Amino acid sequence: MWSEEHIETYLKDKLDNKRFLHSLSVRDTAVKMAICYGEDENKARIAGLVHDCAKNMNGYELMNIARKHGYKISSIYEESPQLLHGLVGAIIAKETMGIKDKDIFNAIAYHTTGRKNMSLLEKIIYLADYVEPLRKYPGVEELRELAYKDINKALIQSFDVTIKYVVEKGQMLHLNTIEGRNYLIKIVGE
If one asks whether residue 122 binds Fe ion (CB under 5 A), the answer comes out as: no
Our CB check for Fe ion shows the closer of 115 and 185 to be 115
Smallest separation, CB 190 to Fe ion (Å): 30
SS3 letters across 34-60? HHHHCCCHHHHHHHHHHCCCCCCCCHH
Number of residues this chain uses to bind Fe ion (CB under 5 A)? 2
Q: With CB under 5 A as the contact rule, which of the stretches 4-12, 58-66, 93-101, 121-129 interacts with Fe ion?
A: 121-129
Identity of the residue, 39 or 52, whose beta carbon is nearer to Fe ion in the bound complex = 52
Nearer to Fe ion among residue 134 and residue 188 (C-beta): 134
From residue 62, how far is each of 92, 131, 168, 170 by CA, in Å? 11, 25, 25, 22
81 SS3 class: helix
Least separation in angstroms between CB 189 and Fe ion: 29
Residue 129 interacts with Fe ion (CB under 5 A)?
Answer: yes
Q: How far is the CB of 158 from Fe ion (least distance, A)?
A: 12
Q: Shortest distance, CB of residue 12 to Fe ion, whole angstroms?
A: 16
Q: What is the C-alpha to C-alpha distance for residues 149 and 153, in angstroms, rounded to an integer? A: 9
CB of 186 to Fe ion, least distance (A): 26
CB-CB contact of 76 with 174 (8 Å) = yes
Stretch that binds Fe ion, among 7-15, 113-121, 122-130, 159-167 (CB under 5 A): 122-130
CB atoms within 10 A of CB 166: 15
For Fe ion, the closer of residues 116 and 135 by Cβ is 135
Contacts with Fe ion in 35-54 (CB under 5 A)? 52
How far is residue 78 CA from its own chain's centroid? 20
- Residue 93, judged by CB atoms within 10 A of its CB (0-12, 13-18, 19+), counts as buried
Instruction: Give me the residues that bind Fe ion (CB under 5 A), please.
Output: 52, 129
